[in-house]
Structure 1
Amino acid sequence: MIFGIDLTALLPFIAVGFAAQMVDGALGMAFGVISNTLLLSLGVPPAMASAGVHTVETFTTAVSGISHTIHKNVNWKLFLRIAVPGMIGGALGAYVLSNIDAAIAKPFILAYLAAIGLYLLWRSRHYPPVEKSPKVVEPLGLVGGFLDAAGGGGWGPVVTSNLLVQGSSPRTTIGTVNTAEFFVTTTISATFIAHLGWEAFTVATIGLLIGGVLAAPLGALLAKRIEAKTLMLFVGVVLTLTSVYGLYIALR
């Protein structure tokens, strides 16, 4: 027992936070989805779960963004195009989730993401495609930020996958989306705290925070070292599995 916290109760959340951030840092998605699913399974209300996860992500994305910058995984022009719309969308999504039930649209979003995941799996088998500068960026950032806050996770799955579909480089896409996520999730956290207070910061979120911060530098290193074709394959697998599982839970 340290500072009134039972370490035995903390360790499982540290392990989940570490594993989730390793996946997120390397593939540009999944920390929010995995962590939020865990908290919801423990009976935490959706708004409180999303608030807790985004509070943790404020710290993990800061470390991850710095690591991706050090490894030169960031396209700064693309960063500016997704970060600002993402912050606006995130604030709107947090407000909606704090005041309205936004769960009705979730199955449709998850079905769309599962389809994108399957498409990325197909594309990974026909790699390398012709890399192109993505054209639909600002609306993507706005929608990604909104869904991330309202759905408790979704910035990475929505933004990373759609940029890859448009022909963006896997390594710099993952690094850029991760780095922009710090600004998006900080905006979301501030909005949640303004509406809900600090009640969401529980033992679970502390454990996720410790595990996530420890794993963040390693995920950025993996994104730099793994070849683009393999990155795209892994993104497709993770996106498809998490979306199908989320769809199953939402339709039960």
Structure 2
Amino acid sequence: MRKLVLLALVGLGAQLVDGSLGMAYGVTSTTLLLAIGTNPAAASATVHLAEIGTTLVSGVAHWRFGNVDWKVVLKIGVPGAIGAFAGATFLSSLSTGAAAPLMSAILLALGIYILTRFTVAGLPKGKLGKPLRKRFLAPLGLVGGFVDSTGGGGWGPVGTPAILASGRLEPRKTIGSIDTSEFLVAVAASIGFIVGIGNEGVKAGWVVALLLGGVIAAPIAAWLVRMLPPRVLGSAVGGVIVLTNVRTLLRSDWIDAPDGVRYAVYVVIYALWAAALTYSIRQHRAEVRAESAERAERAERAVAAPEDDRPLVPAS
């Protein structure tokens, strides 16, 4: 019972982050399942089954708040579903011993990407309003779907930063569209795992716990998407993912590092993570101050403009 409550809380927290950041539900949930010894394919299958419900509720909520571009959803979601099915069947064919370190390596790479991307660059802006072409979104969807099912997460970490980096879709619509299209990915990945492993290692109670937590958080996250600082969230989530998967890899047969080496690596990661969070918070505050100063300057110009524009009256 305690484990089910923990999983529900993880699902809630992961969906809060995913719905407001456009990523991390699958990566966060799968990381936890791997940490407690779940079979890699079963862990990814469990998360994707839960995501069928969470992404559906999240998509509806984002749509209600006007955060969805349906053209983007279709252009990236359908190729994403194809990639997810292929990735699920690929992961299902691997042995547990081979898949566990491989999945942790994929999750570690995603975690490093999230941590670096949001700490250094935040949310890039520019070229807003220009259309996103199918020749860009289709390959992105195929790669994102494949990585998502093999890594237990990755649709958001692949899709969200790539679309944001293009500068063509505003952040809230990027996040809402990625979250909504993930429903197609979750369904396709789940079908792939059912074909590959059936229900082996998949516990219905765990699926329901993750699902309940995610469903509760989904509408809240869709509402909070305009209010929470994504830069800080990205640094925080990226650090958790990096730390957890480095721990898994150092303990795996691939490396099997001694205790002294492992603890030294953990200290370094904690220090870098703390520095990244501190930098992200400072940069966010600086951005808020700059925006406030810019608004104040525009207001002053608006007040002064009527006096400057008054017509000159010739002296009598």
Question: Normalization by structure 2: what TM-score?
Answer: 0.69
1:41 paired with 2:43, answer no
Any idea what SS the aligned residue of 2:67 has? coil
For 2:117, give the aligned amino acid: Y
Structure 2 partner of 1:187:
188
Number of residue pairs the alignment of both structures matches: 241
For structure 1, the 5+ residue unaligned runs are 1-5
Q: Structure 1 residues 121, 62: CA separation in 2 closer, same or farther (over 3 Å shift)?
A: same
Cα displacement (A) at 1:134: 4.4
Distance of 1:217 and 1:105 partners within structure 2: 30
Alpha-carbon distance between aligned partners in 1 of 2:214 and 2:185, rounded to the nearest angstrom: 17
Q: How does 1:39-78 map to 2 (within 5 A)?
A: 39-78=33-72
Shift, 1:122, TM fit = 3.0
Alignment of 1:102-181 (within 5 A): 103-104=101-102, 107=105, 110-111=108-109, 114-115=112-113, 117-124=115-122, 128-131=125-128, 132-134=130-132, 136-167=136-167, 168-181=169-182
Q: Cα RMSD (Å) of the superposition? A: 2.4
Selected match of 1:14 from 3, 8, 27: 8
> Which residue is 1:198 aligned to?
199
Aligned equivalent of 1:89, options 83, 87, 93: 83
Higher mean alpha-carbon deviation, 101-110 vs 16-25, is at 101-110
Name the stretch that deviates more: 109-118 or 14-23. Answer: 109-118
Rounded to whole Å, the distance in 1 between the matches of 2:35 and 2:114 is 26
Larger Rg: 2
Structure 1 distance, partners of 2:110, 2:10, is: 26
Determine the C-alpha separation between the residues in 1 that align with 2:41 and 2:106. Answer: 20
Query: 1:17 touches 1:210 (CA, 8 Å); kept in 2?
Result: yes
- TM-score when normalising by structure 1: 0.85
Query: What is aligned with 1:248?
Result: 246
Does the aligned pair in 2 maintain the 1:120–1:165 contact within 8 Å? no
Q: Distance in 2 between matches of 1:69 and 1:17?
A: 21
Q: Cα distance, 1:114 vs. partner? A: 2.2
Q: What is the percentage of aligned positions where both structures have the same residue?
A: 42
For residue 79 of structure 1, what is the aligned residue in structure 2?
73
Task: Report which stretch shifted further, 87-96 or 107-116.
Answer: 107-116
Q: Which has the higher contact order (CA 8 A, sep 6+)?
A: 1
SS of 2:37's equivalent?
A: coil
**Contact kept in structure 2, 1:33 and 1:242, CA below 8 Å:** no
**Per-residue deviation, 1:195:** 2.1
Q: For the residues of structure 2 that align with 1:197 and 1:59, how far apart are their CA atoms?
A: 19
